[in-house]
Structure 1
């Protein structure tokens, strides 16, 4: 492939996809300053590829042009600075946050330890199929916007519009929520200081990290995720010791709390109530696919990162929550106060305190604070990239697509950062109502995103076969195959049905409009966005036999790619069983 990133002709036409390499274009046609300050200032100027894409968009008419939108997302000048180690840690620990450390307490309280494991296990299986489907798509098409772009490309531009804004709104809401959660963890040590002070400090920290671009995000997530992984592994070891009776208070615990007060709470309805909590805990796992567009060599690094998700689901969620269910009874009064912004209700902290261990609860609160900051950091990253891709496709205001010479989606970062200032509502008496309704907007967002990824993979495989391609041409194939995507789509639909039941007939109260919309608001919002864009742009469903399978592919020399893949597979067959098993799972 050419060393030159994007070629722009004298007529100002769109950049040519065929000359794209694996490095980000940073404006080589523009004069370069000779001073450090000058280069810093110049980095904020518009990228020339962004300008060319903007001119392409202005020349389009009212109707949505799928081909043109696909080209712009394929040519996105986002910086490709993420390395393999960044993706590995994002995959292993990137989304571990309040969903695991805090909200698992609410799930334990409402459903009991058995419901906790069953719901997290089902969502884990669903997510395993989703991430592998996404990995296959992202290796073939490492384009800006990932899942929303795939929905536009393989299903319907109107559905892509709806999924893109659904995902962007999810992270817009999560950012201020995580800022407040981080500030509340500090009150464990400094209860007299106003939360707004800590909100301001954390907001500045996260914004600065993201202004360093994708490299800043990658390095921060590498450190944050490493700390979270070490903490969870440490808790698992400690939990085994405590369950066996090795704590300061002594006494064998075993499965005592599974018998009294019991394994289930509120029966089948209690189990259904845990699904959305589990989905919230796993949300962010799909960021691996979003990061593919900013990875230097996605064909080499992305498959390994996708495989790591299995270990995160098994080790960090299933094993850790099994121990939580053994160490903390679901009748604990402290669990009943669990919420998305209440770190003191963490079952991890409660388990340690119940064992009579001093000092460690403070350490666990530090880990929770770091986990919350990590999710806040991911919020800015995920939302800014999604907004930029929507703008590139012509599905959002053009200014949101602004990408500077350093490859940063500057407008998206600024808009997300400004929305984060909603965290200062924590100083208002109306804090609870505001955040409940904000959370309602994002409650089901991940379910829609994951279901859409599975549907995109199904349609992609149909198109791939109909257009004469074979699976041997794929650098990475989803372990679960297209059958896994059908299973994942079915499970997503079943979770939506279960949540609808809980929304209409909530646990402990009579049916009412407030509880329904706080549990199910995301669904009508997605439908309204889809219908609005469908009518406005008069979009059509994409036919598998006609959809574009060329634009955006990083590997365009198919014969050379097939030859390289066959050589890699032949070399792997020569290795021993243990090495082949390791490569399959890692």
Structure 2
């Protein structure tokens, strides 16, 4: 028997725990019993499904941190995400308007090679972050996922700041995506007076999907991701053909030449460096959602088997869908193309659409534009899911007033109050019909421009602290079900790179390219549009420190709770299961083993 301290351990007369049992099983069992025990008509069952799910009573003698750990571990969410859902969320979940449209801004600011360098560096630390997140999520499949880990392994105030920032990121993201989707229809010369109708349609579809619960989100993302992946693969194949001369002209590296602006953007080395660094904001926005697999762990049927595979998919999404497609964009579109101006807000200026139109491809630009609308719907769907779950975890950790009831989870596992708040905030998207649309869009974008970096940095640091706490408490990594392939070194690398990006972005925000010709007002506006999220998060952190009078910078390693919420399992049985799986895999053909290793 393992030496791990199990809470609520089952007696010897019950079924032996397997490697797939979890500490929050009792709560899930209660919610599952509801589905099979209700009686009456469908209407009565439908009404009852909105009632609050039962929760276990809390021990009043526990500390706030202990209560937060237990509440997040026993949240009455539903485990309805299947392996295929998680795989497609991992592959296509973060592919949205950031890639389809925002890459135009990246190309214009950094040049074709500068864009690739920034995205490649971003990809490297995102990969390390995902492996670290996979390790934590398999061990602690709790409500809020990584938002909970930051509180438990680092510091309550830092957790408060990162949690609130993450809620803000996805809440603001919803109207951003709906506005982007409504503007995209302008490609077909749609009259502006119909803009409200499209906003209402997109908003309604997103809200209805999430009212079907986590299964609705999973099925929606499965469908959306298939379409996005198919579109990108099609664009890559078409792009390779065009670059190689399928239309009668060999393009090759033509647009990388000095005639079209060169490989970087800017006349001087300093301007080119700033251009490359400014692309990190576009990359951060494009990769937002890369951590969603970890958030979904608490609602996944079998995290031990599905999460590691989902983390592997991140590599292929980065290598194939981002790096290769961005390479094609850089080879087919000039950084000086006037149609890239305003690329952050119009589907008509998507570099993929520009590439196809510029080289005489008919029909496909409209298809890509339809996919851009679907991508916006997909990210909007993720916004409601991510924000509502983050709000629920925010309340369960004791950060929000009780009267807000953000931890309200109904019997179908839906955090209804969170979904309602995010959906209501999404109505801001009706600003699309206003003449202030671009101004509002830019400031909303500024609020969440760097927000994802705080989340990713928090995940890397939480993983570092978790491993340190294991060592400090005399525990071994041998008890971990899944170990991050990049280890602590990968998390250190990710954290250092993210810190470097924050420092460089501060420099760019204060001294942007051409700042000598700018007025004080223009420089101030540029600073807040570039760096607004940093002072906001700092304000959250300092305010919580002052309010709680908790002046500890970090939770002592010896006091970190590395037990609550861990999978309730017999470690001996777990090791036996893993050994059996390895033996079965070893007996498979070589091609199958290679596929399993990489995918």
Give me the TM-score of the superposition, normalised by structure 1. 0.93
Per-residue deviation, 1:219: 0.2
* 2:254 aligned partner: 256
1:456 matched to 2:467: no
Q: Which residue is 1:9 aligned to?
A: none
Q: Shift of the alpha carbon at 1:577?
A: 4.9
Match of 1:336 in 2: 341
In 1: Cα distance, 2:280 partner to 2:295 partner: 24
Note if contact 2:392-2:406 (Cα within 8 Å) is conserved in structure 1: yes
Query: Is the aligned partner of 1:443 residue 2:454?
Result: no
Q: 303, 311, 320: which is aligned to 1:298? A: 303
- Structure 1 position 534, deviation (Å): 1.6
| Unaligned 5+ runs, structure 2 | 1-5, 11-21, 267-271
* Residues 67 and 3 of structure 1: CA distance in aligned 2, closer, same or farther (over 3 Å): closer
Matched, 1:377 2:381: yes
C-alpha separation between the residues in 2 aligned to 1:490 and 1:322?
Answer: 27
Tell me the equivalent position of 2:19.
none
Asked whether the 8 Å contact 1:3–1:21 carries over to 2, the reply is no
Native 8 Å contact 2:23 2:567 kept in 1: no
Match 2:38 to one of 26, 32, 35: 32
Q: Which residue of 2 aligns with 1:227?
A: 227
Match of 2:87 in 1: 88
Q: Do the aligned partners of residues 21 and 388 (structure 1) sit closer, same or farther apart at CA in structure 2, a change above 3 Å counting?
A: closer
CA distance in 2, matches of 1:19, 1:141: 13
**How far apart are residue 103 of structure 1 and its match?**
0.7
Kept after mapping to 1: 8 A contact 2:27/2:76: no
Alpha-carbon distance in 2 for matches of 1:469, 1:530: 31
Using the TM superposition, give the Cα deviation of residue 569 of structure 1 relative to its aligned residue in structure 2, in angstroms. 3.4
Does the alignment pair 1:405 with 2:416?
no
Q: Show the 5 A alignment for 1:119-518.
A: 119-192=118-191, 193-247=193-247, 250-259=248-257, 260-261=259-260, 262-266=262-266, 267-339=272-344, 341-398=345-402, 399-509=405-515, 510=518, 512-518=523-529
CA separation in 1, counterparts of 2:440 and 2:251? 41
Distance 1:31 1:140 in 2: 31
Task: Output the CA distance in 2 between the equivalents of 1:225 and 1:367.
Answer: 10
Contact 1:144/1:293 (8 A) holds in 2: yes
Any gaps of 5 or more consecutive residues in structure 1?
A: 5-15
Displacement, 1:433?
2.2
CA distance 1:524–1:206, shift in 2 (3 Å): same
8 Å Cα contact 1:328-1:351 kept in structure 2? yes
Deviation sequence 1:93-132 (CA, Å, 0-9, x none) = 0111111010100110111000011000000001000000
Aligned residue among 545, 561, 569 for 2:558:
545
What are the superposed Cα offsets for residues 230-275 of structure 1, whole Å, 9 maximum, x if unpaired? 000000000000001102xx21000011113210112111111111
Match of residue 12 from structure 1: none
2:108 equivalent in structure 1: 109
Q: Retained in 1: the 8 A contact 2:23–2:568?
A: no
The Cα shift of 1:207 comes to 0.4
Number of corresponding residues: 565
Counterpart CA distance in 2 for 1:19 and 1:255 is 57
Q: 1:22-63: CA deviations, max 9, x gaps?
A: 6572574998341000000000001012xx4xx649x589xx
Residue 473 of structure 1 contacts residue 561 of structure 1 at CA under 8 Å; is this kept in 2? no
1:72 maps to: 71
RMSD: 2.2
Instruction: State whether residues 33 and 42 of structure 1, in contact with CA within 8 Å, keep that contact through their aligned partners in structure 2.
Output: no
The answer to whether the 8 A contact 1:169-1:442 is kept is yes
Evaluate the alpha carbon distance shift between residue 218 and residue 30 of structure 1 in structure 2; reply closer, same or farther with a 3 A threshold. closer
SS at the partner of 2:388?
helix
Separation in 2 of the partners of 1:450 and 1:308?
18
How far did 1:564 drift?
2.1
| 2-structure distance, mates of 1:519, 1:481 | 32
Deviation at 1:228, TM superposition (A): 0.3
Give the whole-Å Cα distance in 2 for the aligned partners of 1:74 and 1:227.
Answer: 35
